[in-house]
Amino acid sequence: MTRLTIDEVYQYIRGVCFKTGPPGTVGAETEWLVTHARDPAAHVPAAGVRALVAAAGPPPGGSRVTYEPGGQIELSSAPFPGLGTLHAELARDVAFLRDVLAPAGLALAGHGVDPLRAPRFQAEHPRYACMRDYFVAGGFADAGLAMMCTTASVQVCVDIGADAADAARRWRRAHALGPVLVAAFANSPLRAGRRTGSRSSRQDVWTALDPCRTLPVYRADGADPAEAWTRYALDARVMVVRTADGGWAADPGMTFGAWLAKGEPTLDDLEYHLSTLFPPVRPRGWLELRMIDALPERYWPVPVAVAAALLDDPAAADAAEAAVEPVADRWSTAARDALADPALAAAARTCFAAALDALPRLGAAGLRPLVAEYADRYVERGRCPADDAPDQTAPHVQEVAT
């Protein structure tokens, strides 16, 4: 297979990761912990869940089903031309999964981090074992295992932008919105049966995990997004490589740029390397917003509607940009305090008001009552779902199993 050159890396990132076109398409990914309905502290064998879901056939709304290393289920929607259709189809698929699991006494649980169970590694593909080994070798064993096996999120996918200038604006706005989205939807105050001191322990896990692949990409100097992402990718350590015999090996001990200088990686290697980078906003031919905790089933559509409205509706985008500017770098504050922080709370109130105003213009008036309910229950009161967590934690925590 042809070896890559540095010029080809730039061409790929500009032509694929930052492919531009008229905005309007939206997608989402919902991740779910799978629990025993009567004993949420017990681990659920992932193989049995896979067998149940496979036997039920594909979800009716067209979502793709995948599994995280701890057994979490991920539903990845198709891209849709509007929020209303996305919500209808992905909601069908979430309900489908719920109904498939219920007869076995299993349930979908929406938390950013498993509140009761310690990590248990259950992945089948050998590349995940290599990922685990990479984190262990790099000194990120605790955060790596927690991320792989106990975290879950709602990811929002929106278009890159109409042209290069629009892409740069949307890139900047998506990053600036990040702390407000962390704060407004924080839903992980417990980890392995104990309070962590943060409302989004999931965000803390990502912060503690290998900064060369998890820190935000956006640079305050306004660098071209494609240039910034290329430099980020070249400077990140290679996590996993394919071996000559078709297997997988962890941590070859170099950055992708150093590997490229040796003349060894191919386009397939670049594509896989990019998939092992996990910043809060990731360009994949669309912008993937990765900073939002998983939520209870009723509320997963809210961050999708809010984030899409604040990026796709011009008036809402302008209002949000002004509101979040003072808090655009408060990632750690957002994780710890969420909307108990007055500045983040003020920004969130403005953002939700702008989104509510925009939803009818985006053909998603049907989502407005749910977003308004969430805003009234949480945002207007300076609260988030983490504040609903009970005071009592689990009486015992199972041992970590790898």
Span of 50-59, 220-229, 231-240, 290-299 with lowest mean pLDDT: 220-229
- Mean pLDDT value across residues 208-235: 90
What is residue 220's predicted lDDT score, i.e. its pLDDT?
Answer: 63
Q: What rounded mean pLDDT belongs to the chain? A: 94
pLDDT of 68 over the 90 cut: yes
- Mean pLDDT value across residues 268-297: 97
Rounded Cα–Cα distance for residues 26 and 79 (Å): 6
What is residue 394's predicted lDDT score, i.e. its pLDDT?
Answer: 45
Q: Among 170, 286, 168, which residue's Cα sits nearest to residue 227?
A: 168
Query: Is 400 domain-assigned?
Result: no
In this structure, the number of other CB atoms found within 10 A of the CB of residue 334 comes to 30
Can you name the residues that pair with 157 across neighbouring β-strands? Answer: 27, 288
Could you tell me if 266 and 255 are in contact, meaning their C-beta atoms sit under 8 angstroms apart?
no
Domain CATH code at residue 36: 3.30.590.20
pLDDT of 398 over the 90 cut: no
**Single-letter amino acid code for the residue at 153:** S
Query: Is 223 domain-assigned?
Result: yes
CA distance to 139, 180, 255, 264, per residue, from 258 (Å): 21, 36, 5, 10
Q: Among 296, 281, 380, which residue's Cα sits nearest to residue 331?
A: 281
Span of 23-27, 347-351, 397-401 with lowest mean pLDDT: 397-401
pLDDT of 399 over the 90 cut: no
Could you tell me if 143 and 213 are in contact, meaning their C-beta atoms sit under 8 angstroms apart?
no
Query: Is 164 domain-assigned?
Result: yes
- The pLDDT confidence band at residue 318, using thresholds 50, 70 and 90, is very high
Q: Report helix, strand or coil for 219.
A: coil
Query: Is 352 domain-assigned?
Result: yes
Query: Is 249 domain-assigned?
Result: yes
Query: Is 396 domain-assigned?
Result: no
- Mean pLDDT value across residues 119-139: 93
- The pLDDT confidence band at residue 247, using thresholds 50, 70 and 90, is confident
Angle at CA of residue 285, ends 281 and 287, nearest 5°? 25
What is residue 397's predicted lDDT score, i.e. its pLDDT?
Answer: 38
pLDDT of 393 over the 70 cut: no
What share of the chain in percent tops pLDDT 70? Answer: 96
Could you tell me if 234 and 223 are in contact, meaning their C-beta atoms sit under 8 angstroms apart?
no
Q: 3-20: per-residue pLDDT in tens? A: 899 999 999 999 999 999
Query: Alpha-carbon torsion 235, 236, 242, 248, what sign?
Result: positive
Tally the domains of the chain.
1
What is residue 245's predicted lDDT score, i.e. its pLDDT?
Answer: 85
What is residue 124's predicted lDDT score, i.e. its pLDDT?
Answer: 87
Query: Is 83 domain-assigned?
Result: yes
Q: 10-64: per-residue pLDDT in tens? A: 999 999 999 999 888 999 999 999 999 999 999 999 999 999 999 999 999 999 9
**Residue 85: which domain range?**
6-382
Q: Which helix (H) or strand (E) holds 286?
A: strand 286-293
